Amino acid sequence: MNTQRDPTVLESFQQQGLSRRAFLKFCAATASLLALPAARAAELAEKLAGMTRPTVIYLSFQECTGCLESLTRSFQPTLESLIFNTISLAYNDTLQAAAGEAAEAAREDAMRKAWGKYVLIVDGAIPRPEDGAYCVIGGRSALDLLRHAAEGAAAVVAVGTCAAFGGIPYAAPNPTGAASVQDLVGDRPVINISGCPPIPEVITGTIVYFLGFGVPELDAQRRPTMFYGTTIHDRCYRRPFYDKGLFARSFDDEGARNGWCLYELGCKGPVTYNSCATMKWNDGTSFPIQSGHGCLGCSEPNFWDGGGFYRPLSSGLWHGGIGEGLGVAAVAGVAIGGAAAVAARQRQKRITEAGKKPPEAP
C-alpha cells in the first residue's frame, strides 16, 4: 500500500530549492495582483502552505492555442511556478510530454483519483451537431469529453472568449454549431475568463484565488469582478482626450500621433469589461490602445459580430442599408401627405360650393 502523501504547495516550493520566503513573496505578489488586502495575503499563504497541489485538467477544443500562448507569458505568477509548485497539471495536450493513448489514459487516471476535487480548465468552443463530430480527440467528441470531465470537477474555468461565450467559432453563421462551456455545463460552478486571448495574469490570478478562497465574486457574465469590474474606457489613459472632445480620425493623423481618443476609429472600450488598461500585457508593457489601435471588445460576447471593428460605437447597425429604407419611407410619406391634401382640397371645394348655393325658400 502506498502511504506516501502528496506534497503540499509549500513543500513543492521547497523541493524546487525555493525558500519559505520565496513562497511568501509568491503569495504576496499574487495577493497584490488580485488587489487583496494585506490580511488576505497572509490567509492565502496559510491556505496554500497547508494544501496539497490540486489536480488540474486542461482541455482544448475549438481554439487557436492563443490562450495557452498567453498563459505561457504570465509574469506573476509564472506558468512554471504555477505548474511546478502550486498545481498538478495532469493533462494539457500542448504542454505535456505524453501523447496519444498514454496521455488520454493519464487524464482518465488523474480524474478518477481526484474525482469531485479537480479543477477543469477549458479552452475553446464546443461544436454540438452530429454528436459533436466536428471536434474529436482520441476518438471522443469534445462534447462528450467536456460533459464527462465537468461532472467530476470542483469548478470549471472557461479560458478565452471561445470557451466563455463561443468566440470566433460561434460567430455567424456558426457553421459547426459551436457553443460555450456555460451553455453546456452551466449547472456546474463555471468561471469565465474571457478575452482573445485573456490577460495571462488574469488566468493565473483567478486559478490561485480559487485555490485559496474558492469561486470569486462574478459578474453577470460569470467573470471575476476583480478583473472584469470596470470598462477599459473607464481606466484608459486616453480618457481625458475623450472628455475634452479630442479624437483621432485616422490611424496616421495628428490626433493619432498625439495619442488622442480612438472612439471615432471604432474603439469598443466603453462597452468592454477587462483589465487591459491597468494590468496590460508582457509584464505591464503595453495594451492595444497604448499601441495605437482601438479596443475590439474581445472579452465581450458576440464581439466578432458587433457590427465592425472600425465603426464608432454610436453609429447605427443597419441591416440591408439604411438609404433604401429611408428613401421608400420618404416617397411613401409624400404620397400619403399628398393624398391627404387632395382629399382635404376636395372637401374644401365642396364646402365652398355649398356656401355659394342660394338658400332654399322656406
Partner 1 sequence: MDLLSFARGPALQWALVIFVLGSLWRLAGILLLRRKPDYAEPRSRATWRGALKLVVTRTWSRREFRASTAFGQSLGYVFHMGLVVVVFGFVPHILFIHSLTGLQWPGLPSSIVYVSGALTVAALVAALVRRLSHPVLRLLSNFDDYFSWLVTVTPVATGLLAVAHLGARYETLLAVHILSVCLLLAWLPFGKLMHVFLVFISRGTTGALFARKGAST
Residue 104 CB, shortest distance to partner 1, in Å, is: 38
Size of the site for partner 1 (CB under 8 A): 45
The stretch near partner 1 (CB under 8 A) out of 98-106, 209-217, 301-309, 354-362 is: 301-309
The stretch near partner 1 (CB under 8 A) out of 37-45, 77-85, 186-194, 318-326 is: 318-326
Residue with cell 487557436: 64
Round to whole Å and give the CA distance between 31 and 36.
Answer: 5
Residue 294 CB, shortest distance to partner 1, in Å, is: 13
- Provide Rg for the chain, Cα atoms: 29
**Smallest Cα–Cα separation from 10: which of 74, 53, 42?**
53
* Residue 341 near partner 1 by CB under 8 A: yes
* Residue 307 near partner 1 by CB under 8 A: yes
The nearer residue to partner 1, 133 or 341, going by C-beta atoms, is 341
* Residue 54 near partner 1 by CB under 8 A: no
The nearer residue to partner 1, 148 or 349, going by C-beta atoms, is 349
The nearer residue to partner 1, 20 or 350, going by C-beta atoms, is 350
Residue 104 CA neighbour count, 13 Å, CB half: 8
* Residue 270 near partner 1 by CB under 8 A: yes
* Residue 308 near partner 1 by CB under 8 A: no
The nearer residue to partner 1, 273 or 281, going by C-beta atoms, is 273
* Residue 354 near partner 1 by CB under 8 A: no
The stretch near partner 1 (CB under 8 A) out of 54-62, 77-85, 109-117, 325-333 is: 325-333
Whether the CB-CB separation of 83 and 93 falls below 8 Å is answered with no
Whether the CB-CB separation of 317 and 324 falls below 8 Å is answered with no
The nearer residue to partner 1, 247 or 287, going by C-beta atoms, is 247
The nearer residue to partner 1, 104 or 264, going by C-beta atoms, is 264
Per-position x/- string for 128-157, each x denoting binding to partner 1 as judged by CB under 8 A, each - no binding: ------------------------------
Among 155, 264, 279, 296, binds partner 1 (CB under 8 A): 264
Residue 194 CB, shortest distance to partner 1, in Å, is: 14
Round to whole Å and give the CA distance between 118 and 54.
Answer: 6
Q: Which residues contact 356 (CB under 8 A, 6 or more apart)?
A: none
CA-based end-to-end distance of the chain: 127
> Could you say which residues in the range 91-130 bind partner 1, by CB under 8 A?
none
**Smallest Cα–Cα separation from 32: which of 208, 193, 167, 198?**
208
The nearer residue to partner 1, 4 or 314, going by C-beta atoms, is 314
* Residue 319 near partner 1 by CB under 8 A: yes
The nearer residue to partner 1, 117 or 345, going by C-beta atoms, is 345
Residue 5 CB, shortest distance to partner 1, in Å, is: 47
* Residue 337 near partner 1 by CB under 8 A: yes
Round to whole Å and give the CA distance between 27 and 209.
Answer: 10
